[in-house]
Chain A
Amino acid sequence: MNSFFTIRQEWWRTVVFLLWIIALVFLLLHQRYTIFLRSEFGILLGLGIVTLACFLLSGSLVAKSRPLGMLEMVRGCILILPLAYMLNSGKQGLDSNAFQNRSLGLPSVAMNTPTAVSPGTGEAPGLEQSTTMGADVDTGAEEKVLSAPAAPQEEVSMLDIYMNPKKYKGRIISVIGMFTKNRKVQKDFGEKAMVVFRFMINCCAADAIPLALIILESDQSEFPDNTWVRVRGVFELEKKNKDSIPVLKQASVEETKAPEIPYIF
């Protein structure tokens, strides 16, 4: 017991700060933090590292310190605990387990405005300012796009589809997402119905909202849950009660590489 108490507070505090600094530097250098946070948070994490370094250095200037007590030891361990959980987080972000928990029903899109979205868990504030990938979301361009001849195949983001469902109706599109099967979807659309989904985040994975497409009439139906797939098919909106459900018909599904950032913003 005596040897336990000979650990100095400053040593322990140095260990706590140092471990956090190492973890944050690793996350930043390898861009791993994007599994947890929006990419913009990198700057804040960087400033956090600087602050922690200041704490570390200021602590080292203290000439005298107290022996470490049990309370401090426990609290230090609690502060380090998230690092252990961080190591267990995997590499691919939220998966079908989170999709099941966060879905409040069938995915549906709002048709009244081109920028509205109702992905089954509520509309996210500020969505209209979000960045999109691979498609024009300018509302003024909508008429033009609708009257233009459909491209044979378009790579679009899930978010874009939710923001502009009318734009893609009847067109062949290609979407990347995670594959899963969902009981509720199968109940409403038949046993062969599948789901491809991605999570949209505002700040971090804790506020992630699932955006999903239902795959109907596909040529390939068996993938393990959470496989990243590219789905090509004709985009349609199916009416269920008062909701417009986004579906892909005559779809082909193939496994693909996971995107660098699993979420969409």
Chain B
Amino acid sequence: MSLTATKNMGTARKTGIPRFGMLLELSFLIVAGTLLLAAHSQQSIQSLSLIFTSIILEALPFMLFGSMVGGLVEIFISRERMTALLPKKRPWLSVFIAAGLGLVFPVCECAVVPVVRRLTRKGLPAGAAIAYLLGGPIVNPIVVASTALAYKFDGLIVLLRLGGGYLIAVVVGLGMSRLFHADQAFRADLRPSETPSCHCSQSLLAPPEGDVRFPNLAEAIPLPFFHEKNDGFSCGCGHDHEDAALGGKLAAACRHAANDFLSVGHFLVIGAFIAALAQTYIDRKFFLGFAGYFGLPSILMMALAILLNLCSEADAFIAASFRGLMPLPAQMAFLLTGPMFDLKLLLMYQSLFRKRTIAVLSVFILVAVLAVALLLELVMGGALP
């Protein structure tokens, strides 16, 4: 085993997060595998197989395209260019702009975390950083396309999702900027510094060997799946993208995209499996009971979004599968919660914020999403569509 790999594994053991995560993932694999082997001929398992595969096949292309766009953005768009778009002297205005920045720089919620880390180090105001963090994964063209397709080009749902996502990103961004200064909100190692420019997010996960500026960085979040060998370049991914030829940049973009996909893909599989289990074994009449209570369907769907850890580029298909089961405001609660707050993001936010910030941010997000869902329920009613 190489020295770097040994160090990475050591880091993983120290944090406890990957080990616990791996245990959960291994448990899922064993349960799902055993279920298939033991009862593959049962009618219900065949239905489960069909629904599970359907969700995966439907979401997969979007996940792949999203990863590819993320990879291209990582390589071809410099963070200086992104930061230049924001008016630093008027933080409130930068919050409004940053919340919609996903339209220009489309990234999913997993890819946005490392991007925000880089922007933060460049001196981006806390409110703007949080607004982009929350708004970017919803207010972006890939999510618009997937939501439109999942809901059969229902413009109202697309608008509600975009509008709701933007509104929540702005409100939470402004609120957080009132409560926290950047120094208080972000981890100490994210203070603006003269770090060398690099578009590769993976330096954040595996800092260059011997780099003492970010001593705890690698401990914050699990190591990415199939991360390439860190051989000392500034970004840690093993390639100097700045000076590379176009072909080399494209190849690097593909590698980043592949890594992103492999790092997040298993969350989609686990989420789709849970959704398929619910679809196969829970009688839809069961959901009718929830639909009758004000706010309860929204809370239930928010909880589901937190548990499912779905990618924002694919979650619309899961939400759409709840049509006829849950009222539209509850589906919207699902669509707004997942890209901003779920179990995997909770882990990833630890690489950005202090614990207190995470606690306040979590409450802000959940309250804001619930408020939007309840408002929609008041306006549209809670009846099943």
What is the interface of chain A, defined by CB distance below 8 A to chain B?
Answer: 5, 9-10, 12-13, 16-17, 20, 27, 33, 35-37, 41, 44-45, 47-48, 51-52, 54-55, 57-59, 61-62, 64-67, 69-72, 74-79, 81-82, 84-86, 88-90, 93-95, 97-98, 100-104, 121-126, 129, 202-207, 209
- Besides A69-B9, A78-B265, A89-B53, 16 more A-B contacts (Cβ < 8 Å) are A9-B226, A36-B53, A48-B65, A55-B258, A57-B254, A59-B258, A67-B1, A72-B225, A78-B28, A88-B45, A94-B51, A97-B44, A104-B284, A124-B152, A125-B152, A206-B276
Measured CA separation A77–B225 after assembly (Å): 12
Contact of A41 among B48, B57, B238 (CB under 8 A): B57
Chain B residues closer than 8 Å to A204, beta-carbon distance: 54-55, 57-58, 317, 321
Nearest-neighbour CB distance to chain B for A131, whole angstroms, equals 13
Please state if B29 and A74 are interface contacts (CB–CB under 8 Å): yes
5 closest Cβ pairs, A-B complex: A58-B254, A122-B324, A126-B152, A55-B258, A204-B54
Chain B residues closer than 8 Å to A126, beta-carbon distance: 151-154
Q: Which of A13, A47, A55, A62 has the most CB of B within 10 A?
A: A55
Measured CA separation A90–B48 after assembly (Å): 11
B350 at the interface (CB under 8 A from A): no
What are 21 contact pairs spanning A and B, CB under 8 A? Answer: A13-B262, A16-B262, A37-B54, A51-B64, A54-B68, A55-B261, A62-B228, A66-B5, A69-B8, A74-B22, A78-B25, A82-B53, A95-B43, A100-B283, A102-B324, A122-B323, A123-B385, A124-B323, A126-B151, A202-B320, A206-B275
Q: Which of A13, A64, A122, A205 has the most CB of B within 10 A?
A: A205
Question: Chain A: which residue is nearest B25 at the CB level?
Answer: A74
Q: Which chain B residues numbered 323 to 352 have a C-beta less than 8 Å away from chain A?
A: 323-324
Chain A residues closer than 8 Å to B227, beta-carbon distance: 66
Nearest-neighbour CB distance to chain B for A169, whole angstroms, equals 26
Contact of B262 among A35, A75, A101, A209 (CB under 8 A): A75
Contact of B51 among A75, A103, A206 (CB under 8 A): A206
Please state if A81 and B226 are interface contacts (CB–CB under 8 Å): no
Measured CA separation A55–B252 after assembly (Å): 10
Chain B residues closer than 8 Å to A75, beta-carbon distance: 25, 225, 262, 265-266
- Given contacts A74-B22, A77-B29, are A203 and B255 in contact (CB under 8 A)? no
Chain A residues closer than 8 Å to B48, beta-carbon distance: 85
Measured CA separation A207–B322 after assembly (Å): 7
Chain B residues closer than 8 Å to A71, beta-carbon distance: 12, 18, 21-22, 25, 222-223, 225
B209 at the interface (CB under 8 A from A): no
Please state if B285 and A54 are interface contacts (CB–CB under 8 Å): no
Please state if B55 and A206 are interface contacts (CB–CB under 8 Å): yes
Q: What range describes how many residues of B lie at the interface?
A: 35 or more
Question: Dominant SS at the B interface?
Answer: helix
B362 at the interface (CB under 8 A from A): no
- Given contacts A67-B5, A97-B47, are A81 and B285 in contact (CB under 8 A)? no
Measured CA separation A5–B21 after assembly (Å): 20
Please state if B323 and A125 are interface contacts (CB–CB under 8 Å): yes
Contact of B36 among A54, A67, A84, A124 (CB under 8 A): A84
B104 at the interface (CB under 8 A from A): no
B216 at the interface (CB under 8 A from A): no
Q: Which chain B residues numbered 145 to 161 have a C-beta less than 8 Å away from chain A?
A: 149-154, 157
Chain B residues closer than 8 Å to A36, beta-carbon distance: 50, 53-54, 57-58
Please state if A64 and B50 are interface contacts (CB–CB under 8 Å): no
Please state if A58 and B255 are interface contacts (CB–CB under 8 Å): yes
- Given contacts A55-B258, A79-B262, A101-B284, are A203 and B44 in contact (CB under 8 A)? no
Please state if B288 and A104 are interface contacts (CB–CB under 8 Å): yes
Measured CA separation A97–B279 after assembly (Å): 11
Please state if A37 and B57 are interface contacts (CB–CB under 8 Å): yes
Please state if A89 and B226 are interface contacts (CB–CB under 8 Å): no
